């Protein structure tokens, strides 16, 4: 059983804060406040920034609240503070595994490992795209987060 979940993407302003906010909300709606959820980026370019306004808008349209999340970079301590670390794409997965301390017990998994739709592996970065890219990313993230919820409730 996992007690803490960390979502990781590149800048922590699109994909990982979306997954973070979705999971927190679903856990709260199910009366589960015992699981620590957070998100971060492999890079600190946007440290302290809120999520991309397009992500916030898509979240609001779907009934999620993510605007209070602030970007932060991955820290070495995260490998010890979280028992499940979820990569949004293969590049993040490889980066996390390459930098994972040998004595860390954290499980590193792909977001898509929890999805009910097995036809995708990466959640594409919507940052350089338009609204339709955010819609697609949210569809994939929501699919995976629902799978994570099932795992956490098992």
Q: Is 65 a catalytic residue?
A: no
Q: Is 40 a catalytic residue?
A: no
**Catalytic pick from 9, 20, 38, 89?**
9
Among 24, 21, 55, 39, CA closest to 135: 55
pTM of this prediction?
Answer: 0.97
Record the tokens describing residue 119, joined without a space: 């036809």
Q: Is 9 a catalytic residue?
A: yes
**Catalytic pick from 81, 83, 125, 139?**
125
Which CATH number does the domain housing residue 43 bear?
3.40.50.2300
Q: How many domains does the chain have?
A: 1
**Catalytic pick from 15, 24, 54, 72?**
15
User: Does 70 score more than 90 pLDDT?
Assistant: yes
Domain containing 133 equals 4-153
pLDDT tens, residue by residue, 74-98: 999 999 999 999 999 999 999 999 9
Neighbours of 89 (CB within 10 A): 20
């Amino acid at each position: 059983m996992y007690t803490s979940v960390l979502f990781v993407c590149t800048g922590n302003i699109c994909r990982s804060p979306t997954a973070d906010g979705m999971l927190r909300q679903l856990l709260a709606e199910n009366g589960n406040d015992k699981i620590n959820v957070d998100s971060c980026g492999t890079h600190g370019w946007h440290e302290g920034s809120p999520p991309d306004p397009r992500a916030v808008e898509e979240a609001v349209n779907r009934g999620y609240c993510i605007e209070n999340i602030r970007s932060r970079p991955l820290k070495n301590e995260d490998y010890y503070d979280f028992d499940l670390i979820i990569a949004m794409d293969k590049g993040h997965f490889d980066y996390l595994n390459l930098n994972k301390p040998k004595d860390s017990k954290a499980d590193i998994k792909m977001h898509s490992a929890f999805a009910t739709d097995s036809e995708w592996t990466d959640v594409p970065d919507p940052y350089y795209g338009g609204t339709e890219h955010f819609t697609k990313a949210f569809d994939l993230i929501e699919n995976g987060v629902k799978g994570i919820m099932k795992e956490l409730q098992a």
